[in-house]
Structure 1
Amino acid sequence: MNVLFAIVRKELKDALRDRRTLMTALFSSLLGAPLILLVFSTVLSQVESQEDKRIVLAVGMQHSPQLENFILRQGYQIKPAPIDYEAKSRSKEIDQPVLIIPDDFEEKITHGDKVSLEVAYDTSNRNAEFGVRPLRRLLDAYVQETMVMNLTMRGISTELLQLVDIKERYLQKAEERKTSVTEMLPMMVLMAIVVGGMYAAIDTTAGERERGSLEPLMMNPVNGWQLAVGKWSAVALVSMGVVVLTIGSFFPSQWLIKNDTLRAEFQFGFKDAIWFLIVLLPLAASVAAMQIAVALDCKSYKEAQVRNQIVSMFIPFVSLIPIMFPGREPSWFQWIPVLAQNQMMNQVLKGETLNTVAVAIALVVCVVMTGGSLAYIAQKMRKVVMN
C-alpha cells in the first residue's frame, strides 16, 4: 500500500508540475462555463435589443402614407435608410433590416391589387438578421388591419374568415425552459473531462518514455497492477478535479449573465451540483483509465496526443445519436457511456428526478470500462519499455 501511495504521490507531483497539464485543466474547467453562458446571454441580449429598438429603416416610405401612419401608431420611429444601405449592411455599419416600399404601393393597395414589400438584410450581419422577426410581425399586423378595414367597408364580417381560434398550450414545465438555452453545458462539461485529464495521461506514459524516467520506475520492486493503479489514480484525481472545478464554476458564472431572461431561467443550485458530481465522477475515472491505455503504446508525446484526440472525437459523435431517434429515447441509451451522462445532466437541468436504475447502470458501465482498461495497462506496463 505504501508503494501504491508513493506512485500516486510521484505522478500527482509530476502532473501538477507540468505547466501544459495544469493550464489545460484550469482553462477547461474554470473558463468553459462562464464563456458559454456569456455567449448565450450576449446573443439573447442582441435579439431582445432589436425587438425593443422600435426603429424602422425604410426606403420609399413616402409612397405609402397609410403604412407610415400605422407604424407610427405602434410606437415606432421611421428613419430613411442610407442610399448605399446594401454596402453598409454588408460592412455592418447599419444593424437593422431595411424595408423597401415600391412606388405603386399605395395605388395597388387602394385598388385591392396584390403588392409586395421587401425586407433587405445581409445574412452575415447577425444584428440585422435578428431585427427581421419584429419587423415581420409589425408588417403582418399592418396587413391584418388593412384586410379588416377593406372587408368592413364592403359590409363583410371579418369573423367569417376566422371561425377557428387556435391557441398554443405549452406542456413544458417552467423549470424545463432553461435547458433550451443551456443545452450545450452538458457537452462542455464532458469535453472538459476529456481535455482536463488527457495531458496528465499522456505525460505519465509517453511523456515519461521521452524523458527516460519510465525505465527507472520499472526497476523498482512493483508489479504491473501497482503501476497501473498508481498512475490511473493520479490521472483520475486530476480529471475528477476538473469535474469539481467545472461544476463549481457554474455558481459564479450565473453572476456574469447579462440577459435577464437567461438569468431567470438558469438557476443552478447545490442539489443540481451534487447530482452532476454523482453522474460525472465515475465517468471521469473511467475516461482517465482509457486515456492511459491509449497513450501507453505510443513512443512519443506527439503520437499519444494525436491518438487521444481521436478518442476525444467520440464525445461529439455520440451526442448526435439522439438525432437519429426523434421522440421517445430508446432504453439502451443508458448503457452507452457519455450518452447516458449527457441525458442525465439534461434531466437535472430540466428539474427532473434521476432514475436510480439509470444511475446504477451508468456506474456499472464505468466500473467495467475502468477495470478493463486497468487490466490492459497492468499487462502492458512491464512490456512497453522493452519495445
Structure 2
Amino acid sequence: MWFKQLRAVWNKELGDAVRDKRAMKIAFLPPVYMVLFFAVGIGFAIHLQNNEERDIEIHLAGQDAPLEAWLTENSITLNPAPEDPYGAVESGEVEFVLVLNTEPVAAGSKEPRSATMVYNASNQSVHGSVGEVRRLLYQYNSMEAGINILARGLSPKLINPVSVREANVASDQQMGGLILGGVPLLLLMCAMMGSVGFAVDMTAGERERHSLEPLLINPVPSMTLILGKWLAAVALTLAVVLVCILLMSIALYFLPFDKIGLRVSVSAGAMLGVFLSLMPIAAIAAALQLVLGILSRSFKDAQTYMSFLIVLPMVPFFVVVTNPGIYETWHLWVPMLGHQTVLRNLLLGEGAEFMAFIAFTVSAIPVVLIALWLAAKQVRRAKIIYG
C-alpha cells in the first residue's frame, strides 16, 4: 500500500510538471544557454589566440637607430609621437608612446639609456602591445649586453650565470584543464537549479492554486507525500543534468582545441562518471528546494529564496580556484567541495576513485533525510496550508 501511494504521488507530480510548459522551459533552457555561452566564449578565445599576430603600431619619441631597427625588424610600426606624450595618452589621442632619452651619455658613464613606456593601464586594448614591446626591449637589452661583453674579450655567459630552462611534463589533455576550469561549476549549477521551477510549483504553487489542501485530505502519510514529490523533482533534475552533459559533450567534441595545442577528449565513461557524481547533488538540491518552497509564503517568495541556492556551488568553486592544490581526501565528504576536483579530473581523462562516488552518496543522505523530515513535519501545519 505504501509503495502504491508513493507511486501515485510520483505519477501525479511528474504529470503536472510535464504538462506545465512554462516550468519545462525554465528548467531546460538555462543549460542550453550556459553551454552555448561557454562554447561561444571558448571558440572566440581560440579564434583570437590562433590568429596571426597583427602588426603593432606605436608612437616613438626620441631617436635610437639600433633600437628602431630592432623594433622594425620585429613587425613594430613606428610613428612620430605628439609633442606632449603624457597628455596625448591621458586624453586618449594615442594609446601608447615609447619615449627614448635623447640626452647624450657621457663617455665612460655606467648609466644606461632610458626608455619610458607611456600608456593607460585602464585601456584593456593596449596591454597586448605593451607586453610585446616590453618583451622586445628585454631581448634587445640582452643582445646588446652580450655584444658589449664580447667586445671586451669576455664570455657573454657572464651576464647570465644561471641558465634557466623549463620542462613542462603536462600532457595536451592536462593543459586543457586551463580552459575547462569553469565546467565543473556549470555542471553543478545545472544540478542545483534544474528543478527550481518544479519544486516551487509542487509546494508554493499548489498552495496558491488551493490544490494542496485537497491533496492532504487523502489518507497518505506526510512523509510519503513529500517523498513522492522529492522523487519527481529528482527525476526532472536528472533529466536537466543529462541534457546539460550531452550538450557539453557535443561542444567539447566540436571545439577546435587542437588549433592552440590542446587536446580535450572526454570519453563516454568519463561523462557517465560525471552524471553519477551529480546525482547526489540533484538529490540534495531537490530536498532543499522542497523545504524552501513549503516554508515560503508565496510562489514569488519561493523563487526568490531558491535563487540563493546558486551560491552553494560557487563557494567551493572559488575556494578551489583561489587555492589550487589544496585537495584532501576529506573534501569528498563535503557536498560540492570534492565535486570540483573529481569533475575536473574526469573531464581531463584522469578518472576518479570509486571511493569518491561512495563518499558523495553517503554524505548526501543525512542532508536529504533532514530536509525531507523537516518538509514532512511542516506540510500539515495550518499556517503552511492556508498561508
Deviation at 1:207, TM superposition (A): 1.3
Quick check: 2:10–2:232 contact (8 Å CA) kept in 1?
Answer: yes
| 2:347 aligned with 1:349 | yes
Corresponding position of 2:189: 191
Corresponding position of 2:63: 63
Quick check: 1:56–1:77 contact (8 Å CA) kept in 2?
Answer: yes
The letter of the residue matching 2:37 is L
Quick check: 1:214–1:385 contact (8 Å CA) kept in 2?
Answer: yes
Corresponding position of 1:313: 311
Deviation at 1:46, TM superposition (A): 3.2
Quick check: 1:47–1:130 contact (8 Å CA) kept in 2?
Answer: no
Change (3 A) 1:314 1:251: closer
Query: How many residues get paired?
Result: 381
Deviation at 1:307, TM superposition (A): 2.2
Q: Structure 2: how far apart are the matches of 1:38 and 1:117?
A: 40
Deviation at 1:38, TM superposition (A): 2.3
Taking the TM superposition and a 5 Å limit, the aligned residue runs for 1:249-260 are 249-254=247-252, 257=255, 260=258
| Secondary structure class of the residue paired with 1:351 | coil
Corresponding position of 1:80: 79
Taking the TM superposition and a 5 Å limit, the aligned residue runs for 1:110-189 are 113-189=111-187
| 2:36 aligned with 1:37 | no
| 2:214 aligned with 1:216 | yes
Change (3 A) 1:159 1:109: farther
Q: Structure 1 stretch 304-313 or stretch 279-288: which is displaced more?
A: 304-313
The letter of the residue matching 2:60 is V
Q: Structure 2: how far apart are the matches of 1:91 and 1:43?
A: 30
Quick check: 1:4–1:229 contact (8 Å CA) kept in 2?
Answer: yes
Corresponding position of 2:9: 7
Q: Structure 1 stretch 191-200 or stretch 39-48: which is displaced more?
A: 39-48
1:106-157 CA distance string (max 9 Å, x none): x449966323323344434333223333222222111111111222223332
The letter of the residue matching 2:53 is D
Q: Structure 2: how far apart are the matches of 1:46 and 1:367?
A: 46
The letter of the residue matching 2:174 is E
Q: Structure 1: how far apart are the matches of 2:330 and 2:342?
A: 14
Q: Structure 2: how far apart are the matches of 1:9 and 1:93?
A: 68
Q: Structure 1 stretch 289-298 or stretch 28-37: which is displaced more?
A: 28-37
Corresponding position of 2:227: 229
Quick check: 2:67–2:140 contact (8 Å CA) kept in 1?
Answer: yes
Taking the TM superposition and a 5 Å limit, the aligned residue runs for 1:256-295 are 257=255, 260-261=258-259, 264-295=262-293
Paired-residue identity, %: 24
Change (3 A) 1:87 1:376: farther
Deviation at 1:340, TM superposition (A): 1.7
Give me the TM-score of the superposition, normalised by structure 2.
0.86
Corresponding position of 1:247: 245
1:84-112 CA distance string (max 9 Å, x none): 99899899998xx624132517x449966
| 2:366 aligned with 1:363 | no
| Secondary structure class of the residue paired with 2:77 | strand
Quick check: 1:210–1:299 contact (8 Å CA) kept in 2?
Answer: no
Q: Structure 1: how far apart are the matches of 2:155 and 2:217?
A: 96
Change (3 A) 1:255 1:341: closer
1:220-249 CA distance string (max 9 Å, x none): 232212211221122111211111011111
Give me the TM-score of the superposition, normalised by structure 1.
0.86
Q: Structure 1 stretch 240-249 or stretch 39-48: which is displaced more?
A: 39-48
Change (3 A) 1:300 1:142: same
The letter of the residue matching 1:272 is A
Q: Structure 2: how far apart are the matches of 1:274 and 1:90?
A: 55
Deviation at 1:185, TM superposition (A): 0.7
Deviation at 1:165, TM superposition (A): 1.1
Corresponding position of 1:202: 200
Structure 2 runs not aligned, ≥5 long: none
Quick check: 1:176–1:349 contact (8 Å CA) kept in 2?
Answer: no
Deviation at 1:255, TM superposition (A): 5.9
| Secondary structure class of the residue paired with 1:183 | helix
Change (3 A) 1:367 1:245: same
**Which has the bigger relative contact order, CA under 8 A and spacing at least 6?**
1
Quick check: 1:285–1:370 contact (8 Å CA) kept in 2?
Answer: yes
